[in-house]
Structure 1
Amino acid sequence: MTELGHIAQKVRSKNAGPFWLTMDIFCWNRADFDRISAALGTDQVAALFRIDSTNIKRFDIADLNVVKFSLPRPTIQGTRSDRDMHGAAWAVLLEEMEIA
Protein backbone atom coordinates (compact mmCIF):
# COMPACT_ATOMS: atom_id res chain seq x y z
CA MET A 1 0.00 0.00 0.00
CA THR A 2 1.16 3.51 -0.79
CA GLU A 3 0.21 6.93 0.51
CA LEU A 4 -1.96 8.85 -1.94
CA GLY A 5 0.42 11.82 -1.77
CA HIS A 6 3.24 9.68 -3.19
CA ILE A 7 1.23 8.84 -6.31
CA ALA A 8 -0.64 12.09 -6.99
CA GLN A 9 0.96 15.19 -8.45
CA LYS A 10 -0.87 17.39 -5.93
CA VAL A 11 -3.64 17.06 -3.35
CA ARG A 12 -5.35 20.26 -2.28
CA SER A 13 -8.39 21.28 -0.31
CA LYS A 14 -10.21 24.58 -0.19
CA ASN A 15 -13.54 26.20 0.49
CA ALA A 16 -16.42 25.67 -1.86
CA GLY A 17 -18.50 28.35 -0.18
CA PRO A 18 -19.17 28.78 3.55
CA PHE A 19 -20.85 25.38 3.91
CA TRP A 20 -18.74 23.05 1.71
CA LEU A 21 -15.13 21.91 1.27
CA THR A 22 -13.66 20.53 -1.91
CA MET A 23 -10.62 18.32 -2.30
CA ASP A 24 -8.81 17.88 -5.60
CA ILE A 25 -6.40 15.09 -6.43
CA PHE A 26 -4.32 16.04 -9.46
CA CYS A 27 -2.66 13.09 -11.20
CA TRP A 28 0.49 13.12 -13.32
CA ASN A 29 -1.04 11.08 -16.13
CA ARG A 30 -3.97 8.89 -17.13
CA ALA A 31 -2.43 5.74 -15.62
CA ASP A 32 -2.12 7.40 -12.21
CA PHE A 33 -5.65 8.79 -12.54
CA ASP A 34 -7.02 5.33 -13.32
CA ARG A 35 -5.14 3.80 -10.38
CA ILE A 36 -6.29 6.43 -7.89
CA SER A 37 -9.84 6.51 -9.21
CA ALA A 38 -10.16 2.73 -8.86
CA ALA A 39 -8.42 2.42 -5.50
CA LEU A 40 -9.90 5.39 -3.66
CA GLY A 41 -13.47 4.70 -2.68
CA THR A 42 -15.99 7.27 -1.56
CA ASP A 43 -16.66 5.12 1.51
CA GLN A 44 -12.97 5.30 2.43
CA VAL A 45 -13.00 9.10 2.20
CA ALA A 46 -16.19 9.24 4.27
CA ALA A 47 -14.61 7.06 6.96
CA LEU A 48 -11.49 9.23 6.99
CA PHE A 49 -13.50 12.39 7.59
CA ARG A 50 -16.07 10.64 9.81
CA ILE A 51 -19.12 11.55 7.77
CA ASP A 52 -21.84 9.60 6.00
CA SER A 53 -20.82 8.67 2.45
CA THR A 54 -24.18 9.92 1.13
CA ASN A 55 -23.03 13.46 2.02
CA ILE A 56 -19.98 13.29 -0.26
CA LYS A 57 -20.09 14.34 -3.90
CA ARG A 58 -17.47 12.68 -6.09
CA PHE A 59 -16.32 13.81 -9.52
CA ASP A 60 -13.88 11.79 -11.64
CA ILE A 61 -12.69 14.13 -14.39
CA ALA A 62 -10.70 11.91 -16.75
CA ASP A 63 -9.96 14.66 -19.30
CA LEU A 64 -8.07 16.58 -16.60
CA ASN A 65 -6.72 13.57 -14.65
CA VAL A 66 -8.45 14.87 -11.51
CA VAL A 67 -10.50 13.15 -8.82
CA LYS A 68 -12.56 15.61 -6.77
CA PHE A 69 -14.55 15.22 -3.56
CA SER A 70 -16.90 17.80 -2.07
CA LEU A 71 -18.30 17.48 1.42
CA PRO A 72 -20.09 19.62 3.97
CA ARG A 73 -17.91 21.63 6.31
CA PRO A 74 -18.20 20.50 9.94
CA THR A 75 -18.72 24.13 10.93
CA ILE A 76 -19.77 27.15 8.92
CA GLN A 77 -16.80 29.09 7.58
CA GLY A 78 -15.81 32.05 9.71
CA THR A 79 -17.76 31.10 12.82
CA ARG A 80 -16.08 31.05 16.18
CA SER A 81 -15.68 27.26 16.08
CA ASP A 82 -14.08 27.25 12.60
CA ARG A 83 -10.42 26.28 13.00
CA ASP A 84 -9.56 26.21 9.30
CA MET A 85 -11.10 29.25 7.64
CA HIS A 86 -9.71 28.44 4.17
CA GLY A 87 -10.22 24.68 4.29
CA ALA A 88 -6.58 24.06 3.36
CA ALA A 89 -5.62 21.63 6.15
CA TRP A 90 -7.97 18.85 5.05
CA ALA A 91 -5.73 17.86 2.12
CA VAL A 92 -3.03 16.56 4.44
CA LEU A 93 -5.34 13.86 5.80
CA LEU A 94 -6.21 12.76 2.28
CA GLU A 95 -2.54 12.82 1.17
CA GLU A 96 -1.59 10.43 3.96
CA MET A 97 -4.36 7.94 3.16
CA GLU A 98 -3.02 4.52 2.14
CA ILE A 99 -4.33 3.09 -1.14
CA ALA A 100 -3.56 -0.07 -3.11
Structure 2
Amino acid sequence: MTALKDIADKVRSKNAGPFWLTLDVFCGTAEAFARISSGLDTGLVADMFKADPATLKRFDMPELNVVKFSMPRPAVQGTHADRDMHGASFAVLLGEIEIR
Protein backbone atom coordinates (compact mmCIF):
# COMPACT_ATOMS: atom_id res chain seq x y z
CA MET A 1 0.00 0.00 0.00
CA THR A 2 1.05 3.56 -0.67
CA ALA A 3 0.24 6.81 1.13
CA LEU A 4 -2.23 9.06 -0.66
CA LYS A 5 0.30 11.92 -0.65
CA ASP A 6 2.70 9.76 -2.68
CA ILE A 7 0.16 9.14 -5.46
CA ALA A 8 -1.66 12.48 -5.66
CA ASP A 9 -0.15 15.62 -7.15
CA LYS A 10 -1.52 17.69 -4.26
CA VAL A 11 -3.66 17.21 -1.16
CA ARG A 12 -5.20 20.44 0.11
CA SER A 13 -7.63 21.44 2.84
CA LYS A 14 -9.18 24.80 3.53
CA ASN A 15 -12.15 26.55 5.02
CA ALA A 16 -15.42 26.56 3.15
CA GLY A 17 -16.85 29.26 5.38
CA PRO A 18 -16.75 29.29 9.18
CA PHE A 19 -18.70 26.04 9.55
CA TRP A 20 -17.34 23.71 6.82
CA LEU A 21 -14.00 22.34 5.59
CA THR A 22 -13.09 21.25 2.08
CA LEU A 23 -10.44 18.60 1.41
CA ASP A 24 -9.20 18.30 -2.18
CA VAL A 25 -7.12 15.52 -3.72
CA PHE A 26 -5.65 16.58 -7.06
CA CYS A 27 -4.72 13.35 -8.79
CA GLY A 28 -2.96 14.71 -11.88
CA THR A 29 -3.68 11.80 -14.22
CA ALA A 30 -6.65 9.60 -15.04
CA GLU A 31 -4.69 6.59 -13.80
CA ALA A 32 -3.95 8.20 -10.44
CA PHE A 33 -7.57 9.33 -10.17
CA ALA A 34 -8.85 5.81 -10.83
CA ARG A 35 -6.52 4.34 -8.19
CA ILE A 36 -7.31 6.97 -5.57
CA SER A 37 -11.04 7.06 -6.30
CA SER A 38 -11.41 3.31 -5.94
CA GLY A 39 -8.94 2.92 -3.06
CA LEU A 40 -9.98 5.83 -0.83
CA ASP A 41 -12.67 4.69 1.60
CA THR A 42 -15.10 7.45 2.61
CA GLY A 43 -15.82 5.74 5.92
CA LEU A 44 -12.12 5.75 6.75
CA VAL A 45 -11.95 9.49 6.01
CA ALA A 46 -14.95 10.08 8.30
CA ASP A 47 -13.31 8.01 11.06
CA MET A 48 -9.99 9.80 10.68
CA PHE A 49 -11.60 13.21 11.22
CA LYS A 50 -14.21 11.97 13.71
CA ALA A 51 -16.87 13.23 11.31
CA ASP A 52 -20.41 11.94 11.12
CA PRO A 53 -20.51 9.85 7.92
CA ALA A 54 -23.99 11.24 7.25
CA THR A 55 -22.60 14.78 6.98
CA LEU A 56 -19.37 13.99 5.11
CA LYS A 57 -19.89 14.71 1.42
CA ARG A 58 -17.72 13.16 -1.28
CA PHE A 59 -17.42 14.36 -4.86
CA ASP A 60 -15.51 12.35 -7.48
CA MET A 61 -14.76 14.53 -10.51
CA PRO A 62 -13.09 12.39 -13.20
CA GLU A 63 -13.12 15.21 -15.75
CA LEU A 64 -10.77 17.13 -13.41
CA ASN A 65 -9.00 14.13 -11.82
CA VAL A 66 -10.09 15.39 -8.39
CA VAL A 67 -11.65 13.77 -5.34
CA LYS A 68 -13.20 16.29 -2.95
CA PHE A 69 -14.66 15.98 0.54
CA SER A 70 -16.70 18.55 2.43
CA MET A 71 -17.51 18.21 6.10
CA PRO A 72 -18.54 20.33 9.05
CA ARG A 73 -15.62 21.86 10.93
CA PRO A 74 -14.98 20.24 14.34
CA ALA A 75 -15.23 23.75 15.85
CA VAL A 76 -16.54 26.97 14.35
CA GLN A 77 -13.71 28.97 12.79
CA GLY A 78 -12.17 31.48 15.17
CA THR A 79 -13.74 30.18 18.35
CA HIS A 80 -11.70 29.21 21.40
CA ALA A 81 -12.04 25.52 20.48
CA ASP A 82 -10.73 26.04 16.92
CA ARG A 83 -7.23 24.60 16.63
CA ASP A 84 -6.72 25.44 12.93
CA MET A 85 -8.05 28.83 11.87
CA HIS A 86 -7.54 28.16 8.14
CA GLY A 87 -8.31 24.44 8.00
CA ALA A 88 -4.97 23.70 6.34
CA SER A 89 -3.67 21.01 8.71
CA PHE A 90 -6.36 18.49 7.72
CA ALA A 91 -4.57 17.90 4.39
CA VAL A 92 -1.54 16.47 6.18
CA LEU A 93 -3.67 13.84 7.91
CA LEU A 94 -5.56 12.96 4.74
CA GLY A 95 -2.29 12.53 2.86
CA GLU A 96 -1.24 9.78 5.26
CA ILE A 97 -4.14 7.45 4.39
CA GLU A 98 -2.93 4.27 2.75
CA ILE A 99 -4.28 3.50 -0.73
CA ARG A 100 -4.44 -0.08 -2.02
- TM-score between the two structures when normalised by the length of structure 2: 0.97
Distance apart, 1:81 and its partner CA: 1.4
Runs of 5+ consecutive residues of structure 2 not aligned to the other structure? none
Aligned to 2:15: 15
Distance 2:51 2:11 in 1: 20
Distance 1:77 1:28 in 2: 30
Q: Deviations 1:65-87 (Å, cap 9, x if unpaired)?
A: 00000000010001111110000
Aligned to 1:99: 99
Q: How does 1:29-48 map to 2 (within 5 A)?
A: 29-48=29-48
Report the secondary structure of 2:54's partner residue. helix
* Higher relative helix content: 1
Please state if 1:25 is matched with 2:14: no
Distance apart, 1:99 and its partner CA: 1.3
Distance apart, 1:28 and its partner CA: 1.7
Aligned to 1:76: 76
Runs of 5+ consecutive residues of structure 1 not aligned to the other structure? none
Please state if 1:67 is matched with 2:67: yes
Please state if 1:86 is matched with 2:60: no
TM superposition outliers: structure 1 runs of 4+ over 6 Å: none
Aligned AA (2:43): D
Distance apart, 1:52 and its partner CA: 2.0
CA RMSD of aligned residues (A): 0.7
Aligned AA (1:24): D
- Percent identical pairs in the alignment equals 62
